[in-house]
Structure 1
Amino acid sequence: MNASGMNPGNRQEEVSMISRSLKGLAKELNVPILALSQLSRAVESRTGEGKRPQLSDLRESGAIEQDADMVLFIHRPEYYKITEDEQGNSLIGLAEIIVAKHRNGATGDVRLRFRPEAIRFEDIVDEGFGGGFGMEEAAVPMTLGSKMNESLSPGAPAQGQFGNNLNLGSSFERDADF
């Protein structure tokens, strides 16, 4: 992606321009935009549980951290050869979705089971052998608060029928009804 044809001086400036452009586009079109970012190598040099990603680990520019409404990280301790937490609970096959930033709601961690053979994340279910992350009762869903949909009125009728106004023009002939 090129930030409106501008010629940035370096990679950091380029990423900053792209980040601001994506933020502006999201606001203009009133749509969410997902942007992916690599982490810097700083996370690799930290020890132990310090391998959890942080906002400052976003690569190339602080603009990503600043412009984003929400930042999520996936963390699998097993990837870093960390197999137990401080209490001795097994971390094998477990992962966390870290909600590091949420402009309109709460931050926190969502613990999941990771099945590498299927590349799949699943809710943790107490299987009678510890549950991991000290979450024996982890079958209870976790909800993070949000103000994103406060302007919506649950149960209110939608404005027009979905798919009814497809801009087909007045000369469009309908096919037979099914």
Structure 2
Amino acid sequence: MSWAKIDHNTAVLDMDCSDGRLLQACLEEYHHLRACGILPYNTPCQQTEDLQKKGAEILRAEKYDIPWRDESFDTVFLNMLPVAATDLNDILMEIKRVMKPGAQLLIANPGLYLLPLTRMSGKTIKKSAAQDHPLSLMKTLDQLGFADVSARVTHMRYAVLAAHRAAQT
């Protein structure tokens, strides 16, 4: 299984392209990439015009109502911010809808820094009531039918969670 891999000729969706940096980097690195982004309402983005000139599709929308067709994307990026549990489930199911079979969801998530420190100290982690805690989020992704749910620590305060939409058989 490839982990957090993007290729040329794929379609990517940034669920919050308010600063445009992620899509800009993708467009610079990969040729023939379909780069799409959701810009939240009332969020300014000076980079939007530049990204659109380079072929990016930037639309204003809410995360729980993605304005693209079913099975449109190979990779979806989500910067995880605290949301209500019911909103999170709705957002994740909407993301799953626009993912192609076998597509990957990559979630930047603060808080996983607790895992290695706790594991090294031999203490157990208390269950978090917060839906966006990495362990809770991994369990939620699994319960919603995502496959190959995993996490990698990127530095002391963030982790990237990866999950795939199961390939159709």
Q: TM-score, normalised by structure 1?
A: 0.29
Higher relative contact order (CA 8 A, sep 6+): 2
The structure with the largest strand share of the pair is 2
Q: TM-score, normalised by structure 2?
A: 0.30
The higher radius of gyration belongs to: 1
